[in-house]
Homo-oligomer: A and B are copies of this chain.
Amino acid sequence: MARATINDVATSAGVSTATVSRLLNGLNVSSGTADRIWKAVAELDYTPNALTRGVFAGRSSTIGVIIRDLDSPYYLELMRGIEEAATAHDSLVMFANTFSRVDREWAHVQKMDEQRVRGLILTTGPDSDARARRMAAAGTPCVIVGRAADLSPNLHSISLDNIKAGQLIGGHLLACGRSSIAVITMGNREQGILRIRGLRSVLNEHDIELPDSAVRAVEAKEEVFTAIAELLADARANGSPIDAVVCMSDLLTRHIYEALHKLGRRVPDDVGLIAVGDFDWAETLGMTVIAQPTYEMGLEAATLIVTAPQEPVRIVQEPRLIVRRSCGEE
C-alpha cells in the first residue's frame, strides 16, 4: 500500500531518478529508456507527488479562493469562471468559505499562504485586506473581487461599475414613468452606497429627490418584510405612494418579491421592481435586473493570477440592464 516514488520507478527501469524526472517533465530522453520508464510507471501505478514539486518550486500551482459566504448563485458563476481559467492553465482551485465570520477570514488567508498558493482571490470585505496586501508584497498575486480596493504591487481588483449600475436603474425607472422610489440594500457595504449614489445622480438630474427615508439598509433577509411594509406605509402617509422598489443585493431579491406579494402589491401594475444581480428564475418571472458579468469576472481574476502582471490592475466591469416586465413598459 506504500506509494511508489520516483526512486522505485528509477530502480525498476534501471535508470537514475534524474532521468525519470526528465522524462516526466518533457525533457529529452532516448526512446528506449523512455519506454522502460513508462512501463515501470504503469506497473507501479506511480503518481508524481505535487507537494514535493511545490516545495521545490517555492509554490504550488493551486489558486486559492476565499468566499465570504457561499450563499448566492453569484458565487457559482464566479467559481465556474475561476475554475475554467485555472484548468486551462493546469491549476487546481482551493477554496474556503468564511460563512461571513470575519475571524475565519483571517485564518483562511493565513492557511492559503501556508499552502503557498500561486495566487489568492478574495470576495471578502475589507477586513483582511492588510493580510492580503502583505501576501501580495511577498510575491503572491492577489485579486479582490467585488470591491475597488486600494491597489498595491501584486494586488489587483475586479469590480462592477456600481455608480453606473445605479444610473442604469434610475434611467430605466424614469423611462418607465416611475419616480417615487424605495431602495432596499444590504448592510452598509460600499457596493450599495455607490449604487445608491448613481441612482440619486440620475434622479437629481430630473429634479427628483430620493430621501434617506426611502432607503433601508437591512442586516438580514428576515428584516426585509418589515422594511418594505414600513417603506410603503410611510410613503403613502406622505402622500407620495411608492411606484418602484429597487433591490441592491441579490440576496434580498426574493424576499422583496415575496413581501410585495404578501402585502398585496402586484408587480408591475401596483409597483415596479428592479434588482441588481441576474438569476435563473428572473427570466421566468420576468424580473428586470442589472446583470454583472460574473463568469467573466472569475475568468479574469484567475487569469490575472496566472499572468501575474507587475503593475497592479484595476478592472471595472460594465453592468448591463436586462429589461423584462417587472417595471412595466419604457
Chain B residue contacts of A115, Cβ below 8 A: 50-51, 62, 92
Chain B residue contacts of A48, Cβ below 8 A: 114
Number of copies: 2
* Interface residue from B3, B96, B116 paired with A51 (Cβ < 8 Å): B116
Contacts known (A138-B3, A280-B254); A49 close to B87, Cβ less than 8 A: no
* Interface residue from B45, B52, B92, B95 paired with A138 (Cβ < 8 Å): B45
Contact B84 A92 (CB under 8 A): no
CB distance from A286 to the nearest CB of B (A): 10
CB distance from A45 to the nearest CB of B (A): 7
Chain B residue contacts of A87, Cβ below 8 A: 96-97, 104
* Interface residue from B62, B76, B114 paired with A75 (Cβ < 8 Å): B76
CB distance from A245 to the nearest CB of B (A): 15
Contact A254 B284 (CB under 8 A): yes
Q: Does A79 contact B (CB under 8 A)?
A: yes
CB distance from A235 to the nearest CB of B (A): 24
A236 to B266, CA, bound (A): 34
Nearest CB in chain B to that of A3: its residue: B138
A93 to B134, CA, bound (A): 23
* Interface residue from B79, B113, B258, B281 paired with A47 (Cβ < 8 Å): B113
For A80, A110, A139, A261, the residue with the greatest tally of chain B CB atoms inside 10 Å of its CB is A80
CB distance from A57 to the nearest CB of B (A): 9
A38 to B279, CA, bound (A): 49
Nearest CB in chain B to that of A140: its residue: B3
Contact A93 B95 (CB under 8 A): yes
CB distance from A62 to the nearest CB of B (A): 7
Proximity bits, A35-50, B CB within 8 Å = 1, else 0: 0000000000101111
Nearest CB in chain B to that of A116: its residue: B51
A161 to B96, CA, bound (A): 30
Proximity bits, A66-88, B CB within 8 Å = 1, else 0: 00001101011001100110010
Contacts known (A45-B134, A55-B52, A95-B95); A73 close to B70, Cβ less than 8 A: no
Contacts known (A76-B71, A254-B284); A49 close to B114, Cβ less than 8 A: yes
Contacts known (A96-B87, A139-B1); A49 close to B257, Cβ less than 8 A: no
Beta-carbon contacts under 8 Å, A93-117 to B: 93-97, 99, 104, 108, 110-116
Contacts known (A138-B3, A139-B1); A114 close to B80, Cβ less than 8 A: no
Contact B96 A47 (CB under 8 A): no
* Interface residue from B54, B70, B76 paired with A83 (Cβ < 8 Å): B70
CB distance from A4 to the nearest CB of B (A): 9
Contact B92 A79 (CB under 8 A): no
Nearest CB in chain B to that of A48: its residue: B114
Proximity bits, A273-302, B CB within 8 Å = 1, else 0: 000000011011000000000000000000
B-binding residues in A (CB < 8 A): 1, 3, 45, 47-52, 54-55, 58, 60, 62, 70-71, 73, 75-76, 79-80, 83-84, 87, 92-97, 99, 104, 108, 110-116, 134, 137-139, 254, 257-258, 261, 280-281, 283-284
14 contacts between A and B (CB under 8 A): A49-B114, A50-B116, A51-B115, A51-B116, A52-B55, A62-B94, A70-B79, A80-B99, A83-B96, A83-B97, A92-B108, A92-B111, A92-B112, A94-B95
